[in-house]
């Protein structure tokens, strides 16, 4: 929540685009709402079930005056991230996504999440163990051990968003 709080200062409302038709969407929405409340802010959600609802949801966020919004990580939002980023840009908004690649290569304002290349490099370990007779259920579950924070300075400049120094210092990568 620190990244979002710093990006949207002085606004106290965090806008959140989420996929309502995803079975885990409600759980993630509730977890986000708790985190926002714990940070002393208020969550303003915009749920969409179909991609056809995207532009209206983003336009509604624009009317609030917030410079950026968070996109819930889900298979739906990942698959449509290019359209989400394009709609946000069209409305003069920044997007904060859970995929660093979205900021590095796709025009999002910021991306904060696991380094998937690093995570996928662990797959041969599991394949080797299974081929040697281990039961998959007996193998340890590994969470991400490397998380990246990428800020897209081009996107920030285009949107007129001044990225606070504290975020610039914390970023793993500044994309220009």
What pLDDT, on a 0 to 100 scale, did the predictor assign at position 113?
92
pTM: 0.86
Retrieve residue 84's tokens: 């989400």
3-state secondary structure the chain: CHHHHHHCCCCCEEEEEEECCCCCHHHHHHHHHHHHHHCCCEEEEEEECCHHHHHHHHHHHHHHCCCEEEECCCHHHHHCHHHHHHHHHHCCCEEEECCHHHHHHCCCCEEEEECHHHHHCCHHHHHHHHHCCCCHHHCCCCCCCCEEEEEEHHHHHHHCCCCCHHHHHHCCEEEC
- How would CATH label the architecture of 2-114+146-175? 3-Layer(aba) Sandwich (3.40)
- What average pLDDT does range 59-66 have in this prediction? 91
pLDDT recorded at residue 116: 80
Cβ burial of 98 (10 Å; 0-12, 13-18, 19+) is: middle
pLDDT, tens only, 73-123: 999 999 999 999 999 999 999 999 999 999 999 999 999 999 888 888 888
Look at residue 174 and tell me whether its pLDDT is greater than 80: yes
The pLDDT value given to residue 29: 93
95 DSSP β-pair partners: 69
Identify any residues that bridge with 46 across adjacent strands, giving them in sequence order. Answer: 17
pLDDT of 56: 97
Tens digits of per-residue pLDDT, 116-173? Answer: 888 888 889 999 999 999 999 999 888 888 899 999 999 999 999 889 898 999 999 9
What is the reported pLDDT for 1? 59
């Amino acid at each position: 929540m620190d990244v979002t709080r710093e990006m949207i200062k002085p606004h106290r409302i965090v806008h959140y685009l989420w996929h309502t038709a995803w079975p885990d969407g409600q759980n993630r929405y509730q977890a986000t709402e708790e985190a926002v409340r714990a940070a002393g802010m208020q969550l303003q959600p915009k749920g969409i079930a179909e991609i056809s609802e995207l532009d209206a949801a983003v336009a509604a966020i624009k009317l609030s005056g917030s410079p950026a919004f968070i996109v819930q990580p889900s298979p739906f939002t990942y698959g449509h991230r290019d359209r989400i980023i394009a709609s946000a840009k069209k409305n003069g908004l920044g997007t904060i996504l859970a995929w660093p690649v979205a900021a590095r290569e796709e025009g999002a304002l910021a991306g904060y999440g696991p380094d998937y290349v690093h995570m996928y490099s662990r797959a041969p370990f599991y394949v080797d163990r299974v081929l040697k007779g281990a039961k998959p259920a007996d193998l340890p579950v590994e969470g991400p051990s490397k998380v990246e924070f990428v800020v897209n300075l081009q996107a920030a400049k285009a949107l007129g968003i001044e990225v606070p120094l504290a975020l610039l210092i914390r970023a793993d990568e500044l994309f220009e």
